[in-house]
C-alpha cells in the first residue's frame, strides 16, 4: 500500500489533536469506587458515597471553582491560585499548576471568559478560555482598596448581568470601641458606624476596572463575617453563611453552655437591603429567636427590635465557622440532595470548656427553594474530630462534590460509589 499523501497525513494529525483536546475538555467519569481512596482520604461519608483525593500537599487552599471540563481552581491563602486537572479520570490530578505570584486570598469565581480571584484587599479578573488550565494574560483589577484587618477574607459570587458580590467582614467582634474590642463588659458603639463600610455584602460591576467601595452599592448589612457566598440556582438569590460573634461567656459572664452554643452560625437569603442584625442582635441556636446582644442591653431573653431583622434560612450550633456554601446543582447524587445546601465549617475555637466542634461539611435539604428539614453531617474527619478544617465547596459538571481543607492542603472529590 502506498503511504498516505501529505494532505491525508495533515488531516489525520489535526483529527487526533482535536480528539485529544476534546478528551481534555470532557468531565472525567462520575463515579467508581475503584478510584476512591481506601480510607476515603481521611473522611467519613454517608453510605453510597466515596472520596477521591484529587490533590494533596497543596498548601492552604480555600474556596473552589470548577470549570465545565472538570478542571478545579482553588484560591490559595498564601499566594495566588492553584489549578488541577485529572486527565485520565482516576480521581487524582496529574496536572497541577499555580499562577499569580501576588498575595493570597479566599474568594474565587469562574465566568465563561474570566476567572475572578479575591486577595483580601482587591478583586482580580484573569482572562480565561474554556479548556485552559491557566489564564491567557495578566489580570485586570476590578476592585481596589477593600477593607482589611479584622475579618479580612473576602468571599465573592457572580450574579446575572455582570454583577459581582463581595463580602466585607467586620473589623471587630461586636462593635465595641477599639480599646475594648473582645473585652468585657464593654458596651457596643451605638449606632455602630462600622456598618457603613463593613459587615455586609457589596455589589460591584464585574467588568468595570479599579472600583473602590465608594463606587459599589451596599447590598446587605448586619453580617459579621459573611465570607461564604453562593447564588441559589433557579431563584438567583444570593445566600451567605455568616460567622457569629464570640466571647459571650468570657466577656459577659453568661453560663458556659450559653457561650458554647450561641450565637448560632447561620445562613441568610439576601435580597437587596437585607439586615442580619449584627452587632445588635444574635440568633439563639436553641430558642430559634433573634435576641439582643449584651453589648446593647441583652440578657439572653430580650428581643428589642431584633424581630425586625432577617430570619436565617438554616442555623447551626455556635462557633462552627461556616467558610463556604454551595447549592447542589448536579444529578449524580440521589434526588434528595438536589437543590439542597452544603456548608463547609472550618471548626470552632470558642466552645471551651466543652470540646471544640464543627470541622465538617453538613447538608441541609431544600425544596422549592426553601429549607425543608433538619441538616445532617455529610463529611467529617475519620480520625480526630478536629483534624480536618474544611474551607471550600464546589459542584462539578459530572455532579461530584469538591471539598477543600486549608490546614491539610487537600482537595477531595466526592462521588457516588459503585457499591
Pairing of β 376-381 and β 43-44:
antiparallel
Please classify residue 179 by burial: count the beta carbons closer than 10 Å to its beta carbon, then call 0-12 exposed, 13-18 middle and 19+ buried: exposed
Region 68-93 average pLDDT: 96
Write down the domain spans for the chain. Answer: 30-416
C-alpha pair distances (Å), 50 with each of 115, 380, 401: 29, 12, 11
pLDDT for 418 equals 76
- What share of the chain has pLDDT > 70, as a percent? 92
The rounded distance, in Å, linking the Cα atoms of 345 and 321 is 5
Question: For 100-148, what is each residue's pLDDT tens digit?
Answer: 999 999 999 999 999 999 999 999 999 999 999 999 999 999 999 999 9
pLDDT for 337 equals 98
Place of cell 490530578: 93
Neighbours of 106 (CB within 10 A): 28
Banded pLDDT at 23 (limits 50, 70, 90): very low
pTM here is: 0.92
Q: Is pLDDT above 90 for 400?
A: yes
Domain 30-416 annotated CATH 2.60.120.1440: no
pLDDT for 34 equals 54
| Contact predicate 173/246, CB 8 Å | yes
Beta strands (DSSP E) in 227-280 are 228-231, 238-242, 265-269
pLDDT for 15 equals 33
Terminal C-alpha separation, the chain: 50
Q: Is pLDDT above 70 for 31?
A: no
Q: Which residue has the higher pLDDT, 39 or 6?
A: 39
- Enter the C-alpha cell of residue 131: 479548556
The rounded distance, in Å, linking the Cα atoms of 258 and 301 is 12
- What share of the chain has pLDDT > 90, as a percent? 90
Of 378, 402, 404, the C-alpha closest to 391 is 404
Using a CB cutoff of 8 Å and minimum separation of 24, what contacts does 22-26 make? 23/87, 24/69, 24/85, 24/87, 24/131, 25/68, 25/69, 25/130, 25/131, 26/69, 26/70
Q: What per-residue string of b and e applies to 391-411 under the rule 16 or more CB within 10 Å gives b?
A: bbbbbbbbbbbbbbbbebbbb
pLDDT for 10 equals 30
| Contact predicate 108/74, CB 8 Å | yes
Question: For 158-186, what is each residue's pLDDT tens digit?
Answer: 999 999 999 999 999 999 999 999 999 99
Residue 42 DSSP class: G
| Contact predicate 207/138, CB 8 Å | no
pLDDT for 16 equals 30
The rounded distance, in Å, linking the Cα atoms of 400 and 89 is 13
- To the nearest whole number, what is the mean pLDDT of the chain? 92
Q: Is pLDDT above 50 for 404?
A: yes
The rounded distance, in Å, linking the Cα atoms of 36 and 45 is 12
Banded pLDDT at 332 (limits 50, 70, 90): very high
- Enter the C-alpha cell of residue 205: 460591576
pLDDT for 419 equals 52
Amino acid at each position: 500500500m502506498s503511504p498516505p499523501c501529505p494532505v491525508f497525513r495533515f488531516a489525520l494529525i489535526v483529527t487526533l489533536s482535536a480528539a485529544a483536546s476534546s478528551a481534555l475538555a470532557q468531565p472525567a467519569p462520575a463515579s467508581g469506587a475503584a478510584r476512591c481512596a481506601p480510607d476515603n482520604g481521611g473522611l467519613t461519608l454517608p453510605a453510597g458515597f466515596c472520596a477521591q483525593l484529587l490533590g494533596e500537599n497543596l498548601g492552604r487552599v480555600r474556596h473552589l471553582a470548577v470549570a465545565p471540563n472538570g478542571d478545579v481552581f482553588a484560591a490559595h491563602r498564601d499566594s495566588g491560585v492553584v489549578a488541577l486537572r485529572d486527565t485520565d479520570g482516576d480521581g487524582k490530578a496529574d496536572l497541577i499548576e499555580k499562577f499569580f505570584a501576588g498575595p493570597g486570598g479566599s474568594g474565587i469565581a469562574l465566568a465563561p471568559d474570566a476567572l475572578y480571584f479575591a486577595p483580601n484587599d482587591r478583586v482580580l479578573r484573569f482572562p480565561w478560555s474554556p479548556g485552559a488550565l491557566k489564564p491567557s494574560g495578566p489580570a485586570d483589577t476590578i476592585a481596589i482598596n477593600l477593607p482589611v484587618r479584622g475579618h479580612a477574607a473576602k468571599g465573592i459570587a457572580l450574579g446575572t448581568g455582570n454583577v459581582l458580590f463581595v463580602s466585607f467582614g467586620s473589623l471587630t467582634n461586636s462593635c465595641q470601641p477599639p480599646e475594648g474590642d473582645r473585652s468585657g463588659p464593654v458596651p457596643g458603639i451605638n449606632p455602630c458606624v462600622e456598618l457603613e463600610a463593613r459587615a455586609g455584602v457589596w455589589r460591584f460591576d464585574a467588568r468595570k476596572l479599579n472600583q473602590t467601595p465608594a463606587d459599589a452599592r451596599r447590598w446587605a448589612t448586619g453580617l459579621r463575617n459573611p465570607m461564604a457566598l453562593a447564588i441559589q440556582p433557579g431563584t438567583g438569590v444570593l445566600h451567605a453563611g455568616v460567622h457569629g460573634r464570640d466571647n459571650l461567656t468570657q466577656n459577659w459572664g453568661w453560663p458556659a453552655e450559653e457561650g458554647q452554643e450561641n450565637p448560632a452560625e447561620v445562613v441568610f437569603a439576601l435580597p437587596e437591603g437585607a439586615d442580619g442584625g449584627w452587632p445588635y442582635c444574635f440568633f439563639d441556636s436553641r430558642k430559634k429567636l433573634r435576641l439582643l446582644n449584651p453589648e446593647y442591653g441583652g440578657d439572653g431573653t430580650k428581643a428589642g427590635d431584633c424581630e425586625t431583622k432577617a430570619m436565617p434560612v438554616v442555623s447551626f450550633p455556635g462557633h462552627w465557622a461556616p467558610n463556604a456554601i454551595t447549592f447542589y446543582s448536579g444529578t449524580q447524587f440521589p434526588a434528595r440532595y438536589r437543590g439542597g445546601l452544603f456548608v463547609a465549617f472550618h471548626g470552632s475555637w470558642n466552645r471551651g470548656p466543652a470540646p471544640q466542634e464543627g470541622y465538617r461539611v453538613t447538608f441541609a435539604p431544600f425544596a422549592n427553594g426553601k429549607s425543608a428539614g433538619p441538616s445532617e453531617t455529610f463529611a467529617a474527619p475519620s480520625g480526630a474530630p478536629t483534624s480536618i478544617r474544611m474551607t471550600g465547596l464546589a459542584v462539578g459538571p459530572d455532579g461530584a462534590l469538591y471539598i477543600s481543607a486549608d490546614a491539610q492542603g487537600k482537595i477531595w472529590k466526592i462521588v457516588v460509589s459503585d457499591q
